Chains A and B, each alone.
Chain A
Amino acid sequence: MDVPGLFNYWIVIVLMMTGFYVVISRGNLIKKIVGLNIFQTSVFILYISMGKIIGGTAPIVAPGVTVYSNPLPHVLILTAIVVGVATTALGLALIVRIKEAFGTVEESEILQQRDDDA
């Protein structure tokens, strides 16, 4: 087994699962968003690791350089990061409205209030 060659992917999976665990196990909505961000960054690292070529350089054409890393994952992730912050902002805006409507950002307390109202 090629340990240094697969180490990137393993850490990506550890990060991804940590983010996933935060999202499904924690009731605090802000922490869920942070967990989602960890998950998201792990996907970015997965893509960029796959685009890397050992001995290559950044994909900006320069004289005397022949090996470049793959630019395609960079393009995909570049746009994904900015879209990610836009959707994070939307999620945070929703949390602020939830806090104003229910007085809490804990999932269990929100559900309890809804049951009390019903």
Chain B
Amino acid sequence: MRRHLVLRVTTKLLMPFILLFALYVQFHGDFGPGGGFQAGVIFGAGFILYALVYGVENARQVAPDPVIRVIIAAGLLLYVGVGFAGLFLGGKFLDYNVLASDPVSGQHLGILLVEFGVGTTVAATMITIFFTFAGRGQDGS
């Protein structure tokens, strides 16, 4: 992909918009179509596009493997953590009513946090899966 100038420039231009759109889908998912799963996939797709055009090694510098691995676990832990937070604040597991002073804002906060956990894990998993596949081709045969 070294010589495809148009692809390289367009990718660089598109990257911020793809990532911003992913964040919009993540945090606007309560009010329109979208949510953690979609946002995570779009965020991952942004990194995959970058890796396709600029090479996996360059993309790995932006998203190093150890960091991505921590993020995969962190998203799931955030989800389970919200569940336990409800437990410790006197409700049931994954009961968001007790998270804030009144049930409705508690529910909203819980949904926001849980969706964020979903988004981070999905994005990091998609990035990892692609990097592992693409990395195999380079150091392998």
Which chain A residue has the least Cβ–Cβ distance from B128? A89
Question: Is B14 positioned at the interface, with any CB of A under 8 Å from its CB?
Answer: no
B32, B33, B122, B129: the one within 8 Å of A89 (CB): B129
A58, A81, A82, A96: the one within 8 Å of B136 (CB): A96
Known: A82-B122, A86-B125. A92 touches B133 (CB 8 A): yes
Please name all residues of chain A whose beta carbon is closer than 8 Å to the beta carbon of B125 when the two chains form the complex.
86
A6: min CB distance to chain B, Å:
29
Q: Is the CB of B133 within 8 A of A82?
A: no
Q: Which of A74-102 contact B (CB under 8 A)?
A: 78-79, 81-82, 85-86, 89, 92-93, 96, 100
Give complex CA distance A58, B32 in Å.
10
Question: Is B43 positioned at the interface, with any CB of A under 8 Å from its CB?
Answer: no
Give complex CA distance A96, B141 in Å.
12
Known: A96-B133, A96-B136. A58 touches B37 (CB 8 A): no
Give complex CA distance A55, B57 in Å.
51
Give complex CA distance A104, B133 in Å.
18
Q: Is the CB of B32 within 8 A of A60?
A: yes
Question: Is B48 positioned at the interface, with any CB of A under 8 Å from its CB?
Answer: no
Known: A89-B129, A92-B133, A96-B136. A82 touches B37 (CB 8 A): yes
Which chain A residue has the least Cβ–Cβ distance from B36? A82
* A/B interface sample: 24 pairs, CB < 8 A: A58-B33, A60-B31, A60-B32, A60-B33, A78-B35, A78-B37, A79-B37, A81-B37, A82-B37, A82-B40, A82-B41, A82-B122, A85-B41, A85-B126, A86-B125, A86-B129, A89-B129, A89-B133, A92-B133, A93-B132, A93-B133, A96-B133, A96-B136, A100-B140
Chain B interface residues (CB < 8 Å from chain A): 31-33, 35, 37, 40-41, 122, 125-126, 129, 132-133, 136, 140
